């Protein structure tokens, strides 16, 4: 399959139907299709060839969506950049991916100016917005200047995008997803959520992240995309009412904010059919608040990772009153046609309820890491992706995640590798020893927490450490709390810090240790 096939179909079957809504701007599928084809021609005129990588650095907006499909229409691959990254990280990812072109939103004009200074061979930088000091022209200018391009028919196993995810080594790895990978994700979501063209979906997670599942899924059914730049509870509730939103997919923390927002009860949410969430099971308190605030709405959980998006699914019936609430602690069952298994150290499947590593297989599993055959081989064996998540499966195939093999923290749906943060913290002149772990947090799911043994006589406080870290890494990776210790950190015989022991006191009384 080609991802653009679903766009072609949408143009054919719902030409006058609303494709995108962004504030006052509303466009039909016919208009969006025309703009995508013209923008693709513009990219080709700039020299973008099939197989080239084109990066995007922007908040959610309709033009991000148009750029996404124009890149594919031109036969290129998209590299969506995390808007929360620091300059050093952006330089790394643009360099690593070899992106020669970059679309950017107006909020990133200063960042782009820095990039053009810091990169040896900076990409062409095209403004998604008309204002904000466009560097090498704007999206609108490209659209205006070109006739629609004939679609470049790349698809199947060919590269559709490179999605960066933090690496254990501290360096981000580019996850290569093919057209078939992303189409398998989209098709699976349509099946599990039972979407149709009546869906009006709010892009309520950042579009650079596959946690925003809407881009391909909604296009597949020729539904309507609604975009919002700031993920603000009041704004989201207002859009649900004014745009008659039917589907919202987000993280439990945002559902908590929506449910507890003062205006939740007075908002007209009669259009809302599905509230989906991912990244973590929903805390019971949040769930009860949400069920009370949004009566009649179906809840859905999905679990996956960039390497294997939307792999499992926990449907509405497991969220309903009277359902076995134990299942809500799971990440759901394998999505249609995908496989999941819990294996022991010998690689063989374990009996139900025995704890081991979770592995998955399916058309959604990545082709590999960009230019990292060694790391690819270490996680992708015989078609099975080794997730590094540890857990068990019950008698009906529900998967419960209990721990993590990799030293990683998932905070606000972002992966943070402890090692990367430890590398920064340990460089602070007052730090003797340090460990960075995830601790439970009602808002973030897990919070990045630093445990530091200061050098003899040295002093360190949170705000100083925070300022130090923010100069080096993205804010979301920086420790949000600091614990100072005078005794040495517990270590194994081999000298490795015993993270599990450090985590124990924070996770006591909980069924999960992540």
Angstrom distance (rounded) from CA 500 to CA 513: 8
Nearer to its own copies, 144 or 153 (CB): 153
Binding mask 382-401 for its own copies (x = CB under 8 A): -x---------x-xxx----
Tell me the three state secondary structure of residue 292: helix
Q: Under rule CB under 8 A, which residues in 352-381 are in contact with its own copies?
A: 361-363
Q: Torsions phi, psi of 391, nearest 5?
A: 180, -165
| Distance of closest approach, residue 338 Cβ to its own copies, in angstroms | 7
| Distance of closest approach, residue 287 Cβ to its own copies, in angstroms | 22
Angstrom distance (rounded) from CA 340 to CA 325: 22
Q: Which of 105, 214, 315, 412 binds its own copies (CB under 8 A)?
A: 315
334: contact with its own copies by CB under 8 A: yes
Sign of the dihedral through C-alpha 166, 167, 169, 174: negative
Angstrom distance (rounded) from CA 34 to CA 36: 6
Nearer to its own copies, 186 or 450 (CB): 186
191: contact with its own copies by CB under 8 A: yes
Angstrom distance (rounded) from CA 396 to CA 480: 38
1: contact with its own copies by CB under 8 A: yes
Sign of the dihedral through C-alpha 306, 191, 237, 293: negative
Q: β-strands 333-334, 339-343: how paired?
A: unpaired
| Distance of closest approach, residue 318 Cβ to its own copies, in angstroms | 12
Q: Which of 5, 28, 171, 371 binds its own copies (CB under 8 A)?
A: 5
338: contact with its own copies by CB under 8 A: yes
Angstrom distance (rounded) from CA 469 to CA 478: 6
Angstrom distance (rounded) from CA 177 to CA 68: 14
Q: Under rule CB under 8 A, which residues in 210-229 are in contact with its own copies?
A: 220-221
337: contact with its own copies by CB under 8 A: yes
Binding mask 7-36 for its own copies (x = CB under 8 A): -xx--xxxx---------------------
Angstrom distance (rounded) from CA 136 to CA 390: 47
Q: Which of 74, 94, 176, 183 binds its own copies (CB under 8 A)?
A: 183
Q: Which of 130, 196, 232, 288 binds its own copies (CB under 8 A)?
A: 196
Beta-strand runs (E) in 349-475: 356-361, 368-369, 380-381, 384-393, 399-404, 408-411, 414-417, 431-441, 445-454
336: contact with its own copies by CB under 8 A: yes
Nearer to its own copies, 394 or 432 (CB): 394
Nearer to its own copies, 100 or 316 (CB): 316
Helix (H) or strand (E) holding 276, with range, is strand 274-278
Point out which residues bind its own copies (CB under 8 A).
Answer: 1, 5-6, 8-9, 12-15, 153, 183-184, 187, 190-191, 194, 196, 220-221, 315, 333-334, 336-340, 361-363, 383, 393, 395-397
């Amino acid at each position: 399959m080609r991802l653009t096939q679903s766009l072609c179909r949408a143009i054919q079957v719902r030409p006058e139907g609303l494709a995108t809504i962004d504030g006052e701007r509303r466009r039909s599928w016919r208009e969006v299709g025309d703009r995508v084809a013209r923008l693709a021609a513009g990219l080709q005129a700039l020299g973008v060839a099939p197989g080239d990588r084109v990066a995007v650095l922007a908040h959610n907006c309709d033009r991000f969506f148009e750029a996404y499909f124009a890149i594919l229409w031109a036969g290129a691959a998209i590299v969506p950049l995390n808007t929360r990254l620091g300059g050093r990280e952006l330089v790394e990812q643009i360099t690593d991916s070899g992106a020669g072109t970059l679309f950017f939103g107006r909020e990133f004009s200063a960042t782009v100016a820095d990039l053009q200074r810091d990169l040896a061979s900076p990409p062409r930088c095209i403004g998604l917005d008309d204002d904000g000091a466009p560097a090498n022209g704007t999206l609108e200018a490209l659209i205006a200047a070109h006739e629609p391009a004939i679609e470049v028919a790349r698809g199947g196993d060919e590269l559709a995008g490179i999605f960066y995810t933090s690496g254990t080594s501290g360096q981000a790895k580019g996850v290569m997803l093919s057209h078939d990978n992303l189409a398998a994700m989209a098709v699976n979501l349509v099946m599990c959520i039972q979407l149709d063209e009546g869906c009006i979906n709010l892009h309520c997670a950042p579009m650079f992240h596959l946690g925003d599942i809407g881009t391909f899924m909604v296009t597949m059914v020729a539904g309507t995309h609604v975009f919002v730049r700031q993920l603000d509870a009041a704004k989201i509730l207002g859009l649900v009412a004014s745009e008659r939103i039917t589907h919202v997919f987000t993280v439990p923390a945002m559902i908590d904010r929506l449910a507890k927002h003062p205006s939740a009860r007075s908002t007209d949410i009669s259009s809302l059919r599905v509230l989906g969430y991912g990244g973590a099971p929903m805390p019971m308190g949040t769930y009860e608040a949400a069920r009370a605030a949004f009566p009649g709405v179906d809840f859905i959980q999905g679990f996956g990772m960039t390497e294997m998006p939307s792999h499992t699914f926990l449907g509405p019936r497991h969220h309903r009153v009277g359902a076995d609430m134990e299942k809500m602690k799971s990440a759901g069952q394998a999505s249609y046609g995908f496989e999941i298994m819990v294996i022991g150290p010998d690689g063989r499947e374990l009996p139900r309820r025995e704890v081991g590593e979770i592995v998955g297989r399916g058309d959604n599993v990545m082709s590999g890491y960009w230019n990292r055959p060694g790391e690819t081989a270490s996680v992708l064996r015989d078609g099975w992706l080794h997730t590094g998540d540890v857990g068990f499966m019950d008698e009906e195939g529900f998967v419960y995640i209990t721990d993590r093999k990799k030293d990683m923290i998932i905070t606000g749906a972002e992966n943070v590798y402890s090692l990367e943060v430890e590398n920064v913290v340990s460089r602070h002149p007052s730090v003797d020893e340090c460990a960075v772990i995830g601790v439970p947090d009602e808002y973030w799911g897990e919070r990045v927490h630093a445990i530091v043994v200061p050098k003899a006589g040295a002093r360190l406080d949170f705000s100083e450490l925070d300022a130090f870290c923010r100069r080096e890494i993205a804010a979301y990776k920086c420790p949000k709390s600091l614990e100072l210790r005078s005794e040495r950190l517990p270590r194994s015989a081999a000298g490795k810090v015993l993270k599990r022991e450090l985590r124990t006191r924070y996770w006591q009384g909980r069924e999960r240790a992540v």
